[in-house]
Amino acid sequence: MTPIANGTINIERKVGQYHGFMAAVLVIGYLAVLIYNMFTKKDKLPVLRMLIIGILVQFG
């Protein structure tokens, strides 16, 4: 929070600096899950469910 001269408070989100990093983490994570699902004989990870949860969290 940054106080302004007239007494109001300005709240800013400075997320623009790391959007690229977060996108890379997201892509690498989904690729890892897809590769895991392709090569494992165990239970598959629910990619669609994880995607839906991620989208809902972003809009929540």
**Tens digit of pLDDT for each residue in 34-55?**
999 999 888 888 989 988 988 8
**What is the distance between the alpha carbons of residues 50 and 44, in angstroms, rounded to a whole number?**
12
Distance separating alpha carbons of residues 25 and 22, to the nearest angstrom: 5
How far separated are the first and last CA of the chain, in Å rounded?
22
Task: Give the predicted TM-score (pTM) of the model.
Answer: 0.60
Min mean pLDDT across 12-16, 28-32, 36-40, 46-50 is at 12-16
Separation in Å, CA 40 to CA 34, 35, 50, 55, 56: 10, 9, 18, 26, 28
